[in-house]
Structure 1
Amino acid sequence: MFIHLDLEAKEPIYTQLKNEIIAGIAKQELVPGEGLPSVRSLAKDLSINLHTVNKAYQQLKQEGFILIHRQKGVVINPDGIPEAGNEEIQRIKKDLRPMIAESICRGIEEEEYIEMCRMIFREFSAKGGNRNE
């Protein structure tokens, strides 16, 4: 899996890393049970601080995307990603609000916004998507 980080972006590096790993899972470039590099190894490979990698990994663990084993290391959750419950749905809605508000402020119509969402959704679905099958 190729991880692209923009060190000049406003978005924190740990968030970018977390999002890249989630995208890899959604595209099935990373599959359940597959190992990820250790914190130190990934930090070295990406030339970033190991605490940055650790923060991304800890958030991914909390959200059920990965497991961290003392012996096995970091692995994509072998049981698949847990289905979104009410808490996750509410968090996703909350995260969408500023994007929708900005879109309205910038003159993007509802149908155009929805079509952008469909296109992005299809990008992930076309590559397999993660349906916990």
Structure 2
Amino acid sequence: MDVIIDFHSEEAIYIQLCNQIIVGIATNKYHEGDMLPSVRQMAEDIGINMHTVNKAYATLKREGFVQLDRRKGAVIKVDADKLRVLGNMRKEFATVVARGICNGVTKDEAHKLIDELYNEFEVQEIEEMQDQDVM
């Protein structure tokens, strides 16, 4: 699993790990049923504390992206409760939009940015599917 942690970022390491796994799911890099590395293995691979990985996996479980199983470990299992997801997105967007407004970002600029992000994810998803077809 290719995870890159920015140890100089103000964003917590467990959040960086969560976000990279979520992006991997969104771009079809990780699929329903895929097993994530064990807590110990992930910690060793990226050079962080096992408790940090454990916190990330617990967060992903709580947010409905993985299922934790004593025998299998963390397995990608996306909870498709769209209303809950939209509610969470609204909470996260509220702060981002407020920051944008405070810094003079217009509604049109924000919409354009969201469109660009969706397009980037779609391109990454297509590329990931093409890579899998080659292998």
Aligned residues with identical type, % of pairs: 38
The answer as to 2:99 corresponding to 1:99 is no
What secondary structure is seen at the aligned counterpart in 2 of 1:61? helix
| DSSP-derived class of the 2:16 partner | helix
After TM superposition, which residue ranges in structure 1, 4 or more long, deviate above 6 angstroms?
A: none
CA positional deviation for 1:126: 2.8
Q: Is the 8 A contact 2:29 2:125 kept in 1?
A: no
- The secondary structure found in structure 2 opposite 1:75 is strand
Provide structure 2 residue ranges, at least 5 long, that are not aligned to the other structure.
Answer: 127-135
Inter-partner Cα distance in structure 2 for 1:81 and 1:5: 26
What is the Cα deviation at residue 54 of structure 1? 0.4
| Equivalent in the alignment of 1:56 | 56
Counterpart amino acid of residue 110 in structure 1: K
Equivalent residues in 2 for 1:115-126, closer than 5 Å: 115-126=112-123
Cα distance in structure 1, aligned partners of 2:4 and 2:64: 22
* Separation (CA, whole Å) in 2 of partners of 1:65 and 1:16: 15
Give the aligned partner of residue 70 of structure 2.
70
Query: Can you give the 5+ residue segments of structure 1 that lack an aligned partner in the other structure?
Result: none
Alignment of 1:19-98 (within 5 A): 19-77=19-77, 80-85=78-83, 87-98=84-95
Of 26-35 and 58-67, more deviation after overlay is shown by 58-67
Aligned residues: 126
Q: What residue identity is the alignment partner of 1:30?
A: Y
Aligned match for 1:127, one of 105, 124, 127: 124
1:52-108 deviations in Å (ceiling 9; x for gaps):
10001001111221111122222111xx442322x3322221111121111112122
Structure 1 vs Structure 2 CA RMSD: 1.6
Shift of 1:23: 0.3
Normalising by structure 1, what TM-score?
A: 0.86
TM-score w.r.t. length of structure 2: 0.85
Aligned-partner Cα distance in 2 for 1:81–1:28: 15
